[in-house]
Amino acid sequence: MTFADSPPGSGKPWGGRFEAGADPEAEAFTSSLAFDRRLWPHDIRGSAAWARALERAGLIDGGERAAIDKGLEAVRAELESGRFAFRRELEDIHMNIERRLIELAGAVGGKLHTGRSRNDQIALDERLYLRDVLGSLDAALAAVQSALLDQAERHREAAMPGYTHLQRAQPVLLAHHLLAYVCMLDRDRERFADCGRRVNVLPLGSAALAGAAFTIDREALARDLDFTAPSSNSMDAVADRDYVLEFLAAAAVLGMHCSRLAADLALWATAEFGFVEFSDAFATGSSIMPQKKNPDVAELIRGKTGRLYGNLVAVLTTMKGLPLTYNSDMQEDKEPLFDTVDTLEAVLRVLPPMLASLTFRVDRMREAAGAFYSTATDLADYLVRKGLPFREAHEIVGRTVRHGIAKGKELGELSLEELRTFSPLIEKDVQAALTVEASLRARAVTGGTAPEAVARELAQARKRIAKDPQR
């Protein structure tokens, strides 16, 4: 796509009020064309629907509407092919499309803007754009969930340490750990779906701020564009961007979840953990250290979350002090919005194949799962089953662990005689309660890490991710 050469300040849609042309620097500074051009499919769709609304209102006849439709389709073809000549002095995608429509369709093209403002036009375009984005994001999130589930099912018997404070805590199944992220992504999908319900409100017909001055059937217009309803207040419709902010907030939460998953994997790939190995396809080497294999893809997933946070804060800051209604400040919502969409799409494209390529070192995980007193809570639970209050049991096990550390022995390595010095309730059946497998089996509650509980969760998760989150 190329820009057509035009004298600075010429051809402005509002030029009748002005005697002098625009300063070239001011013109470049105020133009949004460099970034809002991606909205052209939505602008054309909205314009075609507006032409139908004008016809229903008796403001244009069928022949005029057909001429506008033909012109808009010609504009669409030029944009799709890359032949469209953008003009900087027309400021934005809306006026570029309108001016080209007038060139192709003649004076009738100038009727299209009847009762319409760029204020309600841009609000419509953003909402149409976000509607499409939300649909594609949901499919992408389901693909990430499927990749996690595939690995979970492949390793449904693999034990590993669970951590709190980055300290070994209790044994869990690797599948259980991966399913935690599936649950997080469930809620991300729900947040985007909920956002979509508020996005799906028609602003068109609000005009600049006071509403269209013609008998536009906005309910019919809403149905035409597949919106649930028209906006109920014209000032609100053009003045707020909370639908953008809500999307950016949901995106930031999703980014946080992806970042934590990436952080887990990068940590597990260290020599200190050695729980997972990244495939060569999703790792890089060092320019100086030949032995290195760096989890760069995971690290960048983690790093790009900062962009998502920044975009949310940028738009919140832009909007916070604006008097009603529309202000040019609001033009600054688009680059953060588009950057967030592009960033999310990139992250969600790379995550499924990266997850599929991971090699988990289950033997090392299993060894770590039973080390450093990971079944201490199970010893406390054993004493509770013998009738001891949990707080007393906790104190006894704490002293037992201290003894084991002093002797350099794990709990399972302490003799029955040693254990009984801490509580006479401990009997020879205690050793069976202190294995990793026993610890896992004991946690059979709904949502627990026991194999049967995890199997149920896997089956339920498969069903969930295939369903529409808007149900």
Query: Each residue of 357-389: pLDDT tens digit?
Result: 999 999 999 999 999 999 999 999 999 999 999
> Domain check: are 86 and 158 in the same one?
no
Cα-Cα-Cα-Cα torsion 242, 248, 250, 252, nearest 10 degrees, comes to: -150
> Domain check: are 134 and 248 in the same one?
yes
> Domain check: are 15 and 126 in the same one?
no
Task: Measure the CA angle with vertex 200, ends 196 and 204; round to 5°.
Answer: 150
> Domain check: are 342 and 401 in the same one?
no
CA contacts within 13 A on the Cβ side of 445: 4
Q: Are strands 2-3 and 85-86 parallel, antiparallel or unpaired?
A: parallel
Distance CA 394, CA 98 (A): 75
What Å distances lie between residue 449 and 153, 176, 236, 263, 444, CA to CA? 14, 6, 49, 22, 7
The pLDDT score that the predictor gives to residue 466 is 79
> Domain check: are 346 and 396 in the same one?
no
> Domain check: are 79 and 124 in the same one?
no
Structural domain includes residue 173:
yes
Structural domain includes residue 271:
yes
The pLDDT score that the predictor gives to residue 23 is 80
The CATH number covering residue 336 comes to: 1.20.200.10
- Token pair for residue 451? 């194999």
- Token pair for residue 429? 């059946």
The pLDDT score that the predictor gives to residue 16 is 66
Give the Cβ contact number of residue 293 at 10 Å.
Answer: 14
The pLDDT score that the predictor gives to residue 12 is 65
> Domain check: are 108 and 124 in the same one?
no
The pLDDT score that the predictor gives to residue 6 is 44
Which of 63, 80, 114 terminates a domain? The answer is 114
> Domain check: are 272 and 314 in the same one?
yes
- End-to-end Cα separation, the chain, in angstroms: 42
> Domain check: are 140 and 36 in the same one?
no
The CATH number covering residue 105 comes to: 1.10.275.10
Structural domain includes residue 459:
no
Residues of the chain with pLDDT under 70: 1-16, 18, 468-471
130 within 8 A of 244, measured Cβ to Cβ: yes
| 6: containing domain | 2-114
Q: What is the DSSP string of 366-393?
A: HHHHTSSSTTHHHHHHHHHHTT--HHHH
Tell me which residue of 290, 295, 440 sits closest to 359, measured CA to CA.
295
Which of 64, 95, 114 terminates a domain? The answer is 114
Which of 339, 367, 395 terminates a domain? The answer is 367
Say how many domains are in the chain.
3
The CATH number covering residue 411 comes to: 1.10.40.30
> Domain check: are 74 and 33 in the same one?
yes
Structural domain includes residue 325:
yes
The pLDDT score that the predictor gives to residue 27 is 81
Structural domain includes residue 335:
yes
> Domain check: are 88 and 173 in the same one?
no
Structural domain includes residue 470:
no
> Domain check: are 361 and 387 in the same one?
no
Structural domain includes residue 331:
yes
Residues marked as catalytic: 165, 286
Structural domain includes residue 289:
yes
Listed in order, strand segments (DSSP E) in 225-326 are 229-230, 276-277
- SS3 for 276? strand
